[in-house]
Amino acid sequence: MSFLRTSVVNGVGEIVLDRPAALNALDQTMIDDMHRTLEDWADDDSIESVLVTSASDRAFCAGGDIRAIREHAVAGDRRAVGHYFMSEYRLDQLVANYPKAYISVIDGAAMGGGLGISVHGEVRIVTERALIAMPETAIGFFPDIGSTYFLPRLPDGVGMWLGLTGSRIRGADAVEVGMATHFVASEYIESVTEQLRSGTPLVEVLGDFRDRPGTGLPLRKIGEYFADTNVSAIVGGLRGAVGDDWAAAAVDQIEKASPTSLWVTAAMLEAGARSVLDDCFDRELHAAEEITATHDFAEGVRAVLVDKDRNPAFDPSSIDDVDPEVVARIVGVATA
């Protein structure tokens, strides 16, 4: 069974993500089918642009098929784990280097792997229903799918804030920080998508959508509190902000995450800030293969996605007890 629907009309190749029961989480077949389709269309002169949409009214794509990855990891099948991530990152690289206009329409949740098949593309249209996040530290993982390249290139501190806390932002916020390119109110998104399907030039379709709602992102605070790459320093600064409810909430989010994942994430973003995209993917593949073999990954996915008790027992349980050598091994670079 295929979880993708494809069509080519009026010079537009459309890929519809159609796994609604799993919020379009990308399993191995979806990754393979999408990669094969995009490769075929890249060489097809009759296709001028690619449109990626969702059949779900709740999600664009909620991420990778993490439960299946955990099953492979727990069974000790590192080959299957490595193959999944290699395939996923190869797809994301194809999107990033795609020779034709690549347009994503995000009217719902887009997290983790869902951003890998959208943020790297040329055009990312969002609505107020879009919910954007990289929530990996809560499951003992780290932000991947090339995010170690694009997160450090967001406004000051924003990438580190999103990566460490797993905070969710809405469509207008995503445009504000550069993760999306266009905002369209959900009441118009069906009409806009239909016009794109018809082959109407992008500039004509989106020409009337120049304004967007104001955002509530406290960019000054984010830049102040998350400018560091040292997790202890970031948490210390947040805890020292007496009377700042936003800072207190950020500490609460961080304290729910895997301490090891927090340090890995900070190190990956620091390395990604001075790397090209391909190097980021290479580093992420190494880190993904290493971190999925740890206790925290199996335990984090269990608590959030399997048993859903939201009570993971991470080890170590404190950011102060994380071994820098473990972080260095996972990341594959010096962390001093």
> Residue 106 phi/psi, 5° resolution?
-110, 105
Structure tokens at 311: 């009570």
pLDDT at 253: 97
The Cα–Cα gap between 161 and 163 comes to 5
* Residue 335 predicted with pLDDT over 90: no
pLDDT digits (tens, 9 = 90+) for 100-147: 999 999 999 999 999 999 999 999 999 999 999 999 999 999 999 999
Residue numbers annotated as active site: 64, 113, 136, 144
Amino acid at 256: K
Q: Are 279 and 299 in contact (CB under 8 A)?
A: no
Total length of the chain: 336
pLDDT at 210: 66
CATH class of 1-336: alpha beta
pLDDT at 208: 76
What is the mean predicted confidence (pLDDT) over 188-201?
95
Name the residue among 137, 80, 148, 159 with its Cα closest to residue 291: 137
Q: How many Å is the Cα radius of gyration of the chain? A: 19
pLDDT at 168: 97
Give the SS3 label for residue 117. Answer: coil
Task: Place 1 in a pLDDT band, splitting at 50, 70 and 90.
Answer: confident
pLDDT digits (tens, 9 = 90+) for 207-259: 877 667 777 899 999 999 999 999 999 999 999 998 999 999 999 999 999 99
Mean pLDDT of the chain: 95
* Residue 170 predicted with pLDDT over 60: yes
pLDDT digits (tens, 9 = 90+) for 3-38: 999 999 999 999 999 999 999 999 999 999 999 999
Question: Is 0.75 topped by the overall pTM?
Answer: yes
Q: What is the DSSP string of 3-57?
A: SEEEEEETTEEEEEE--GGGTT-B-HHHHHHHHHHHHHHHT-TT--EEEEEES-S
The Cα–Cα gap between 312 and 251 comes to 17
Q: Are 151 and 272 in contact (CB under 8 A)?
A: yes
pLDDT at 336: 39
Structure tokens at 93: 């690289």
